[in-house]
Structure 1
Amino acid sequence: MDERVLHGGFRKLTGPIEHWVTTYHTEYWGFRPDKKEAWEEIEEGEIFLFHASASRLLDVPPSQVRDVGKGVIGLGKVGAKSTKDEPAWWEEVHYNGEYPYLVHFSEIHWFGDTTEIRDTPVKQKSKEEMVEDIKGLDQSKISFGEMDERANYRIPAQGSPTNISQPEKLFPLLLERIQGVAPEKHDTDESSTQADRDSERTSKIRSRKRDRDLEPDSSTTSTVTYESSIDETMSGWMEHEHSLDTFEDELLNAGFETGETKYSDILASDNTHIVLAEAKSIHDGNQEDQIRKALGQLEEYSYFEVHSIPKRKQKELTKCLVLTSEPSEEYAQFLQHLQSHGVYTFWTDEYEIKGFPESMERLHTITG
């Protein structure tokens, strides 16, 4: 599925994870008679996240399905609608379920491993096979734990075809899955100790993914209205990534080894220096919040990802705030004051790095 489909926004569909095995085979989703009005409102071209709730229909020991569901397992683009009168879902085949109103998907992207799922109706499957199927669909899901930790936002849990009020917060997570980047484990284990959780912060450095193509297709029309502007959000995200690319190029050209971690935007080093950079997209309405957030992140990440790691803390640390545009005069004096505390501010102008004189001098010193 082309990443650009996300540009128009999306909603979500919810059902027990065993229902999605039917969708894997038929490429459609069903609505109960009492949800006909919601079904009628769905339009061709809409994008829906596939939210799998916990398994509740298979009549197997709870231990076999305890960890499945409760997350997003895929997404699809609506191609058509129709009705049916033959049973297709496990609940229709084995119980008294009824889902006559169908939404057909012209494109589907599953996050999990579907290689072992037989492409056959669920009425031909045993409970044991269904358990294995839902475990396959469940792999690489976007769990609520991951949404909380990485996006600071979670989708509504209710079962109606709900609008996502802050879709931009889920973009990075969804793009990882679409691009085939294996996500790290983000489910919170309540039995883990604080020391365990602190140690997880010392993430390995990985290369930043830069082969993105997210320019909107001018022929695409949005069919859903959202509280926030998707255009503005995607634009801000791309500006953020462009600033990081430009700053990273400056370091790469100077011989630094660069990458990102689970938390920081850029962590780069050479033989004597280590650079921690946090980027923010700013405009008149968000400058204060964005800068405040970035400064807090720089302090937190410098402790967990530099000072707490012996081989890193031996090097001279430079903390960098990288903005998508020059900060206002109101904030300039404050940011210049922070230079004496080891925080240097830069911004991008096209493909050029700019900054306050002392910050630029620091950058020239560490890059030679």
Structure 2
Amino acid sequence: MASELVLLTGATGLIGFRVLVFCLRKGYRVRVVLRDLAARARILRTPSIQNLDTETNLTFVEIPDLSIPTAFDDALRDVDKVIHIAAPIASANPSSIGADLATHYLKPTTDAALHLLSSAQAHHTVKRIILTNSLAALIDYVTDTDETIHTESTRVTNIQQPPYRSPFEAYMAAKISTLNLTEQWAESEKPAFDLVHMAPGHVFGPNEPVTNPKELLQTGTNRMILAPVMGKAYPKEAGVTVHLDDVAEAHVRALNPSTPGNRLYILSSGGVMGTKLDDCFEIVARNFPEHVGKTLLNNGSLPSFVFKVDASESARTLGIDFIPYEQQVRDTVGYYLECVQRQPSSTPSD
């Protein structure tokens, strides 16, 4: 009997690539959606992929624009499960995304998810769709207080409207809107497949497709740790974090029909009170003393605030014991140092 076929978007990103590796390790066949097929070279040259038998289990399909109504029609043929991760992320360089933040974040994110669901409804092989969201989808800027504890059943009714003052405001609105609209769609359309929503906190772990140290400092959520460890000041962030491997494992476990569907799972370590992000400096000093003051200045700043989330029910249901912040930092910084050591002449300073 052939293994199930999973359609995966976002495989060139931090989360998506690791989900791809975990799916292949579990024996799933994976059809990866790329906006440009040239990007498959970056995936195929990684050690994790080269160590797997991917000749028959890994294929690629090109969809240049995920937000058009018919984008997924052909790609979904014979697909059993879908993991949709691709979406605009909160950029470290707002000038690179233009002035219209709503156009960059809100419309592409919601359109891609809704068009995917509509296309899947016409493909009777699809049994489950996993939509990767974010804890940002649970933030209500009107009603939240310092005492609000966010759970799997938390839903936001107040969504900030454009124009947005920052990429994060637009990103948050896109995540809330996508969760709300896809749940409303499922309630209205009652599809044959079920939906699973993943809501991770800040995701940390080795970003294997990226090997350039300077790019690592500018790409994805890992920059939140790496920039301060390199001596930079980082803006205050919520102390909700999760290891990349836990996020990938949660997605793969959610492919199993024994994992309950039509619900949201919170992925966050550290308990309700979360993590004190600037503990990263002590963790680095203890684990990489020979690099402190040299490759790692370890003297930046990373202030955090408490954003209360209770992930205990998600952890129980998924059977995951979340990897602690200590290892999140150790693995992220350790990978960065590996990349620096491979290019000893290019220790970045910016």
Q: Same fold (TM over 0.5)?
A: no
Instruction: Give 1 or 2: higher strand fraction.
Output: 1
- With the shorter chain as reference, the TM-score category is under 0.3
> Scaled by the length of structure 2, what TM-score is found?
0.27
> Scaled by the length of structure 1, what TM-score is found?
0.26
Structure of higher CA gyration radius: 1
Relative contact order (alpha carbons < 8 A, sep ≥ 6): 1 or 2 greater? 2
